[in-house]
Chain A
Amino acid sequence: EAQVTQNPRYLITVTGKKLTVTCSQNMNHEYMSWYRQDPGLGLRQIYYSMNVEVTDKGDVPEGYKVSRKEKRNFPLILESPSPNQTSLYFCASSLHPGTSGYEQYFGPGTRLTVT
């Protein structure tokens, strides 16, 4: 089954404790992306990647890191989480922009609470 998986689905942590949210897709997609969703703000892109070893900042990259060492995986790293990073996070993947398959498939979401 074609899918994007995220782990964990729920996470409560404390300020300053490094954490990683994993994202994996099994569709051989080039494009992967992380978003955060906050009430009234829609989804805001944090980072995206057009392919292995290629990453770019989205609109809200501060406080986050990503890496793309393998095509299928795109982990999101919070080196020192703060309460303003409490949010619902989505990972997404798609074929390369410009192809007929450029439509993003989303993971189930990770609800993160930082206290």
Chain B
Amino acid sequence: AQKVTQAQTEISVVEKEDVTLDCVYETRDTTYYLFWYKQPPSGELVFLIRRNSFDEQNEISGRYSWNFQKSTSSFNFTITASQVVDSAVYFCALSDNTGGFKTIFGAGTRLFVKA
């Protein structure tokens, strides 16, 4: 069965600190997709990144980086030099071939960045 676990419910950091948000997933499929979304206090959901199961390359986009490790079924998200504008709820999600690409979201991690 599919499952996404974001064990960190809330994280609080001071501006300029680095912070890593954990995501652990479960799937029996060999073809699957992992996502991160951001939900700022305004409520909209913003796509950040997609990773395919056959592409384990890590990715960096500005202050954001993602570490995908199939061996540990993890897809962690790091924000370097955090800023107040990074305060949001971050969701990790999984979509796989089982049942036709149903999407499962984790419960989310609420990040507070204090000035």
Please, how many angstroms separate the alpha-carbon atoms of A1 and B9 in the complex? Answer: 35
What is the size, in residues, of chain B's interface with A at 8 Å between Cβ atoms?
23
Q: What number of A-B contacts does a CB cutoff of 8 Å give?
A: 57
Q: Is A104 in contact with B104, judged by CB distance below 8 angstroms?
A: no
A43-B91, A103-B50 are contacts. A50–B101 as well, Cβ < 8 Å? Answer: yes
A102-B33, A103-B35, A109-B44 are contacts. A40–B102 as well, Cβ < 8 Å? Answer: no
Q: Is B91 in contact with A42, judged by CB distance below 8 angstroms?
A: yes
Q: Which residues of B contact A35 (CB under 8 A)?
A: 105
Please, how many angstroms separate the alpha-carbon atoms of A97 and B102 in the complex? Answer: 10
Q: Name the contact of B44 in the complex, choosing from A43, A103, A108 (C-beta under 8 A).
A: A108
The chain A residues found within 8 Å of chain B, CB to CB, are: 31, 33, 35, 40-45, 48, 50, 56, 58-59, 88, 90, 92, 97, 102-106, 108-109
